[in-house]
Amino acid sequence: MARIARSDVEAAYFTLLRAREKVSALRRYGDFLEHERLRLQRFVAEGDALDAHVDPKLRRALLHTDRLLGDVLKVRHETIADELGRLDERIAAAEAFVGECEEEHEALRSAS
């Protein structure tokens, strides 16, 4: 049986570390997306509450921006929902890759 070079074992180990960090990063991204979704909901609710106490005639100078702001918020909300919808699959794939890296690292370690 051929002996595995130490550099191959180390390379597999560092690949494993990067794969684990990718899983952690994806989970942090999911947390960020959830917090951002909630923040946008609060922003809209607070804006609606403020609007209810002011005569629309007095808000006339701002009214032309309401539609634009609403459009931007809608696009951002849709983008967040899309990202959240695909995140579980991305995490599962990253976790599967971690498993492969762990197996490869262990095999190389055992063979060296």
pLDDT of residue 5: 78
> For the whole model, what pTM was predicted?
0.83
pLDDT of residue 112: 78
Sign of the CA dihedral with 48 first, then 49, 52, and 56 last = negative
Long-range contacts of 86-93 (CB under 8 A, 24+ apart): 87/26, 87/29, 87/30, 87/33, 90/26, 91/23, 91/26, 91/27, 91/30
pLDDT of residue 1: 46
Look up residue 58 and give its DSSP letter: T
Distance (Å) of CA 96 to CA 48, 69, 88, 102: 45, 40, 12, 10
Q: Name residues of the chain where pLDDT drops below 70.
A: 1-3
- The separation between CA 63 and the C-alpha centre of its own chain, rounded to angstroms, equals 34
Residue 83, token pair as written in the block: 């990202």
> To the nearest whole number, what is the mean pLDDT of the chain?
94
